[in-house]
Amino acid sequence: MKTVVVGAGAVGGYVGGRLVQAGREADFLVRPGRAAQLREQGLRILDGTQAEVVDVSCVTAAELTGPYDLVLLCVKPDALAAAMADVAPAVGSETVLVPFLNGMKHVDMLTERFGAAVLGGVLKVVTQLEPDGSIRQFAPGGRIQIGELDGTASDRVHAVTRTLSIPGFSVGVPDTIIDAMWSKWVMIATVGAVTSLARGTIGEVAALEGGTGFAVGTFEEAASVAAAAGHPLGADDQAAVRALVTAAGAPTTSSLSRELVAGRATEVENVLGDLLNRARTFGLSLPRLEAAALTLRAQNARLAAAS
């Protein structure tokens, strides 16, 4: 499938780069400055002290012509509206659009604009965009889940699965992609809240008196919102998240806590803010998640004031 990857940051750059390395036909839709950088230097993926340089094809919104078979949307939430406008010429009657964004807020925006072209998507990678534009890989490969939003089986889902099945990545089609998206949201909200409040790793929290209890309580808060929304985590997912957030010695952090420690703006509203807003509609109290959101919002406010 002829693919365009919207965004070349920590998510889009990493997944798109691996697709190109696997021989897939893929372009990057990026801003002019990023396009110039990638054309001059290539896409750099860092693993420890080693760097891989991938020669990639870039287009800007002004250069984008004709429909693509597959659109992978990999942008930050605050860039979503602009990205939707930029990528519109790439979306034809047979185009499939898979978003790899956190949370659920983007689903309504995308389906309102692009209708049945939109699938649900879950991506799990551990990467970070470095100041010089390189993509740092903290763990190899990744996990992808896709599916029709209504839960039906379709030929296009299988076609996308084949395209995304590349070395190092596991690709699956869950029974209900919306449930899978909620499960990931609960996981990243829990890990993000715990590691941001501690400004440390899951292993460091687990080593503290009451640390594992705090982590489990935070998970239970996040999971209660999913259950109230009609998408409770299954037993296996519950066990997996509990094990993740209480693992002794684990170096696990999150993009929220990494950005917090680095003094950069965070994706707090999409990961925690929207979850808290939904919790209020259900009459739920989430004190741990509220505290984490306050911490991250305070940093964002300081950065906004300084700029």
Q: Is pLDDT of 161 > 90?
A: yes
What is residue 14's predicted lDDT score, i.e. its pLDDT? Answer: 96
CB atoms under 10 Å from CB of 129, counted, come to 18
pLDDT per residue over 147-157, tens digit each? 999 999 899 99
- Whole-angstrom distance, CA of residue 115 vs CA of residue 94: 12
Average pLDDT (171-176) is 94
Please state whether 97 falls in left (phi above 0), alpha (psi between -120 and 50) or beta: beta
Instruction: Give the strand order in the sheet containing 50-54.
Output: 50-54, 43-47, 135-137, 127-129
Asked if residue 32 has pLDDT above 90, the reply is: yes
Q: How distant, in Å, are the alpha carbons of 33, 96, 152, 164 from that of 144?
A: 29, 16, 18, 8
* Torsion, Cα of 192, 197, 203, 205 (10° steps): -140
Contact 245, 190 (CB under 8 A): yes
3-class DSSP state of 95? strand
- Give the pLDDT score at 72: 97
- Residue (of 70, 101, 104) closest to 87 by Cα position: 70
Asked whether 114 and 71 are in contact (CB, 8 A), the reply is no
CA dist., res. 45 & res. 218, Å (int): 33
User: Domains, the chain, ranges and CATH?
Assistant: 3-175 (3.40.50.720), 179-306 (1.10.1040.10)
Distance, in Å, from the CA atom of 102 to the CA atom of 224, rounded to the nearest integer, reads 18
User: Is the pLDDT score of 163 beyond 90?
Assistant: yes
Token pair 């803010």 is at which residue? 273
CA distances from 23 to 3, 20, 42, 73 (A): 12, 5, 16, 20
Q: Is the pLDDT of residue 48 over 90?
A: no
pLDDT over 90 at 259, yes or no: yes
- Sheet of strand 120-124: strand arrangement: 120-124, 142-147, 169-172
pTM of the model: 0.91
Give the whole-angstrom CA distance, residue 245 versus residue 11: 22
Question: Token match 């396009």: residue?
Answer: 35
pLDDT value of position 277 = 96
SS (H, E, C) 233-288: CCHHHHHHHHHHHCCCCCCCCCHHHHHHHHCCCCCHHHHHHHHHHHHHHCCCCCHH
Average pLDDT over residues 134-163: 94
Mean pLDDT rounded to a whole number for the chain: 95
End-to-end Cα, the chain, rounded Å? 42
Residue with tokens 């997996």: 240
Contact status, residue 78 vs residue 65, Cβ threshold 8 Å: no
